[in-house]
Amino acid sequence: MDAIQNILAAIVVLGLLITFHEFGHFWVARRCGVKVLRFSVGFGKPLWSRFDRHGTEYAIAAIPLGGYVKMLDEREGEVSPEELPRAFNRQSVGKRIAIVAAGPLANFLLALVVYWALFVAGTTAVAPVVGTVAPDSPAARGGLAAGQEIVAVQGEDTPTWEAVNLRLLSAIGTRQPLHIETRDADQGGPAQRHSVPVDRWLVGQDPPQPLETLGVTPWRPATPAVLGKVLDDGAAAGAGLASGDRIVAVDGRAIDGWTAFVEAVRAHPGQAMTLTVARDGQTREVSLTPAVHEQDGERIGYIGAGVAPVSWPDAYRREIRYGPLAAVGQAVSRTTEMTVLTLDSIRKMLLGLISPSNLSGPITIARIAGDTARSGLESFVSFMAYLSISLGVLNLLPIPVLDGGHLLYYLIEAARGRPVSEAAQAAGLRIGMALVGTLMLMALYFDLMRL
């Protein structure tokens, strides 16, 4: 079921992003007087198509991993004399630059609009309060302690754990100490400044684990061993357990929280357990035999039940909401921040500071899309905004076959007053196709390794 949800979520995300990207090309081409022959979402044989009054074909094709806008062009077929002024290759270099750049810019615009909507609607996030600090970790050597709230990293405010992670990730490769500011979560007071010693921060990690490497575990409220969702076909349901049941003991040993119960279940694959269960003020004993689940070559127990959600104290929650005008500035700031982070990640990957195994392909995108969709609308659209930015950045890279490669040719043409030769463009096309194909194969390989 999760696999189907992942595929559907990926189709929705990629379909929206591709459509918006190609619409950018299409809209500007029309305004520049260029005739558009086909607007296709997907590659391959069209599953559906129709024509408008301008003669443009709109199609949805079988392979939903891209799309294209086909324009009238003498290089791709014969053009009648009366339609030559509407051919793409006959347009000024300025118009061609505008048409090619419109696709990636549409992706940045989509991200900006999504972030604006999220900031206006408002979000509730968890305050970055430290739960524990590992002994002799960078955080411990820097003086961080349990109960402190991280208010800034590298001079940038961090109202949420997401912000903390982004600031730590942006520092990948640094040999300089991390500058972290904290304050007491319960009593407030002035910020304390910490210099956390690191060396080649997060270099070579796959994937990077900033909090674990720092030695910090986020604070969480106590989680009692109370069942939340119980799957109908799982071992828990088969044993008569239901949502709201509290596990008091396992085989006569008291259970002090959800983590202890999970550890007991994992340790008994295919082995009967006697649970002491509290329900409606009464306790009873239940026999439960966890199913066997393979994980990393190890047999673990699995019962098909989740934990009941716990409420966070108001002091540990952060409401992030802005008015319509203030949200514009915040959306621009977030879009810019994620764009810079993406470009910096590409730079560090080329320098060897980030492992190429962090490349993600369609399988990882589908998995993350499914996970965020199950987490809620906010997580799903936030992921879509970040993916839209990534698509915009990647398409602007100066690689032939990508929009950035075409822009490079047109900028050279504008500078020298004549177009790049056909032979040079053909050679660039072959190199670009080889490079993009290699990257796609690498991303798919790493996707499969993650499975």
pLDDT tens track for 169-214 = 999 999 999 999 999 987 777 889 999 999 989 887 877 889 999 9
Domain regions of the chain by residue span: 93-122+323-451, 124-220+311-320, 227-307
Question: Given 3-state DSSP classes, what are the helix, strand and coil percentages for the chain, each rounded to the nearest 5?
Answer: 45, 25, 30
Q: What are phi and psi of 435, to 5 degrees?
A: -65, -50
1: pLDDT strictly greater than 70? no
Its sign, for the CA torsion 25, 31, 34, 40, is positive
Q: Which helix (H) or strand (E) holds 216?
A: strand 216-218
Is 149 annotated in the active site?
A: no
How many percent of the chain have pLDDT more than 90? 59
Give per-residue burial for 403-442: e unless 16+ CB within 10 Å, then b. Answer: bbbbbbbbeeeeeeeebeeeeebeebeeebeebbeeeeee
Instruction: Give me the catalytic one of 22, 57, 78, 378.
Output: 22
- Residue 236: which of 190, 275, 195, 181 has the closest Cα? 275
N-term to C-term CA, the chain: 16
Report the distance separating Cα 62 and Cα 68, nearest Å.
Answer: 13
Residue 119, pLDDT score: 93
62: pLDDT strictly greater than 60? yes
Helix, strand or coil, per DSSP, at residue 191:
strand
Q: Is the separation of the CB atoms in 371 and 364 below 8 Å?
A: no
How many percent of the chain have pLDDT more than 70? 99
Residue 125, pLDDT score: 86
Tell me what the pLDDT averaged over the chain comes to: 90
User: Can you give the length of the chain in residues?
Assistant: 451
Residue 367, pLDDT score: 79
> Do the domains 227-307 and 124-220+311-320 match in fold?
yes
Token reading at 232: 């109908």
The alpha carbon of residue 292 and the mean position of all alpha carbons in its chain are separated, in whole angstroms, by 31
46: pLDDT strictly greater than 70? yes
Q: What is the mean pLDDT of residues 409-430?
A: 90
Q: What are phi and psi of 402, to 5 degrees?
A: -95, 165
Q: Per CATH, which fold does 227-307 belong to?
A: Pdz3 Domain (2.30.42)
Helix, strand or coil, per DSSP, at residue 353:
coil
Q: Does domain 124-220+311-320 have CATH number 3.20.20.540?
A: no
pTM for the model: 0.82
- 152-168 per-position pLDDT tens digit: 999 999 999 989 999 99
- Residue 320: which of 47, 135, 115 has the closest Cα? 115
Residue 437, pLDDT score: 87
Q: Is the separation of the CB atoms in 382 and 121 below 8 Å?
A: no
Q: Is the separation of the CB atoms in 134 and 215 below 8 Å?
A: yes
Q: Is the separation of the CB atoms in 23 and 106 below 8 Å?
A: yes
Contacts of 303 (CB under 8 A, 6+ apart): 234, 235, 236, 239, 241, 265, 288, 290, 291
